[in-house]
């Protein structure tokens, strides 16, 4: 069922082998990061599929839609190449309008793609995204670079965060009141810290707990954890940086859950991810951390119910206000979401 080396198609029958009821169903959730696509790995993942996952027993009130290379079919078919990604924002906004009639505000915030390497000329692209949706909140320009680990995608040249042209484009984000969504791998976090220090007025949101790697030369998890931890500490010292905690289920993380006869339950999942979750919260604080599903990519490893149960298990010792920030308030504030329906 592999759909390329980086994503594995979800298997509903396999996920059903580990059923769970949602824990603490009253906790409000803003899913800070998910995708939708008309024909990605495993087939379509659109509003109906999102709503089925969101209705799994947890109190999901809103979500953030984030760009994906798998949805190029939503790009504009004509016009300048740099404006073609605006078609994705238009498609996500149309889905958000449909969802707004219900209790779950899917895609209440939208993050799209723009080529910041265009330099100052990217301003026109940013303006087009903003015009395409009142929900548009920022840009994800992929910085992920990896030359050693087999099967791990690499979409950016090394050192892109230091490129003068890229930085010229990056400077346009603050001028348009937009945030930067940082997708990269954990060895690159010091590069991102340098970018955050040089642009203190731009809000930066790191994806997927800093981009874990657990395959190839990164297979020694204990050794790599120490490097990951030091790099997290460095970006945490930048007050304009926030962290999305999630993204543990994709193959590059090396947990290999998708290869097992049955998926993990939330207790096992919580035990495996707790060191990463708790270190992020300790260093950045609940006010700069938010939980994400990264569905459907992470759906290859565990169900939506199990994932959020695991997040709840890991954070059980924290106070109510801290958990409210992690599950809902941080994402709602960072992405400037309207108040959800009561």
* pLDDT value of position 342: 47
Element housing 243 (H / E)? strand 241-245
Distance CA 229, CA 278 (A): 11
Distance between terminal CA atoms of the chain? 41
Residue 120's CB is within 10 A of a number of other CB atoms, namely 12
Confidence tier at 70 by pLDDT (50, 70, 90): low
pLDDT score of 88 more than 70: yes
Compute the average pLDDT of residues 282-308. 98
How high does pLDDT run on average in the chain?
Answer: 95
Length of the chain, in residues: 342
Cis ω on the peptide bond leading into residue 114 (within 30° of 0)? no
The residue among 283, 284, 303, 285 whose CA lies nearest residue 293 is: 303
pLDDT score of 1 more than 60: no
Distance CA 225, CA 61 (A): 33
Structure tokens at 312: 């709840």
Compute the average pLDDT of residues 82-108. 96
* pLDDT value of position 306: 98
pLDDT score of 73 more than 60: yes
* pLDDT value of position 273: 98
Domains of the chain, CATH where assigned: 12-334 (3.20.20.140)
pLDDT score of 74 more than 80: yes
Compute the average pLDDT of residues 40-65. 95
* pLDDT value of position 68: 87
Compute the average pLDDT of residues 57-69. 95
pLDDT score of 240 more than 60: yes
Q: What confidence tens digit (pLDDT) does each residue in 311-337 have?
A: 999 999 999 999 999 999 999 999 999
Q: What confidence tens digit (pLDDT) does each residue in 206-225 have?
A: 999 999 999 999 999 999 99
Compute the average pLDDT of residues 180-206. 98
The residue among 229, 218, 333 whose CA lies nearest residue 278 is: 229
The residue among 75, 86, 79, 78 whose CA lies nearest residue 38 is: 75
Confidence tier at 2 by pLDDT (50, 70, 90): very low
Distance CA 223, CA 219 (A): 9
Q: Return the minimum-mean-pLDDT range out of 22-31, 34-43, 92-101, 105-114.
A: 34-43
Residue-by-residue DSSP string for 11-46:
-HHHHTTS--PPSSTTSEEEEEEE--EEEETTEEE-
With beta carbons less than 8 A apart as the criterion, state whether 221 and 185 touch.
no
């Amino acid at each position: 069922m592999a759909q390329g080396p980086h994503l594995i198609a979800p298997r509903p029958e396999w996920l059903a082998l580990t059923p769970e009821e949602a824990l603490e169903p009253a906790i409000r959730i803003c899913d800070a990061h998910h995708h939708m696509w008309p024909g990605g790995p495993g087939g379509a993942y659109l509003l109906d599929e999102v709503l089925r996952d969101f209705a799994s027993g947890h109190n999901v009130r809103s979500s953030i839609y984030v760009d994906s290379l798998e949805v190029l079919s939503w790009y504009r078919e004509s016009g300048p190449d740099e404006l073609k990604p605006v078609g994705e924002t238009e498609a996500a906004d149309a889905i958000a309008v449909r969802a707004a009639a219900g209790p779950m505000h899917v895609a209440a915030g939208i993050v799209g793609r723009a080529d910041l390497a265009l330099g100052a000329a990217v301003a026109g692209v940013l303006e087009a995204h903003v015009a395409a949706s009142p929900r548009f909140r920022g840009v994800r320009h992929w910085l992920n670079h990896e030359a050693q680990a087999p099967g791990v995608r690499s979409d950016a040249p090394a050192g892109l965060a230091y490129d003068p042209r890229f930085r010229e484009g990056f400077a346009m984000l603050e001028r348009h009141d937009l945030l930067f969504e940082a997708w990269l791998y954990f060895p690159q976090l010091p590069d991102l810290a340098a970018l955050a220090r040089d642009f203190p007025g731009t809000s930066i949101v790191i994806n997927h707990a800093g981009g874990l790697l657990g395959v190839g030369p990164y297979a020694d998890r204990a050794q790599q954890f120490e490097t990951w931890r030091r790099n997290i500490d460095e970006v945490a010292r930048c007050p304009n940086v926030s962290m999305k905690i999630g993204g543990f289920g994709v193959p590059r993380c090396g947990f290999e859950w998708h290869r097992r006869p049955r998926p993990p339950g939330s207790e096992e999942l919580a035990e495996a991810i707790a060191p990463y979750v708790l270190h992020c919260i300790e260093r950045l604080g609940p006010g700069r951390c938010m939980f994400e599903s990264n569905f459907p990519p992470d759906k290859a490893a565990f169900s939506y119910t199990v994932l959020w149960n695991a997040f709840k298990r890991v954070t059980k010792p924290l106070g109510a206000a801290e958990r409210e920030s992690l599950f809902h308030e941080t994402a709602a504030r960072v992405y400037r979401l309207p108040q959800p329906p009561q």
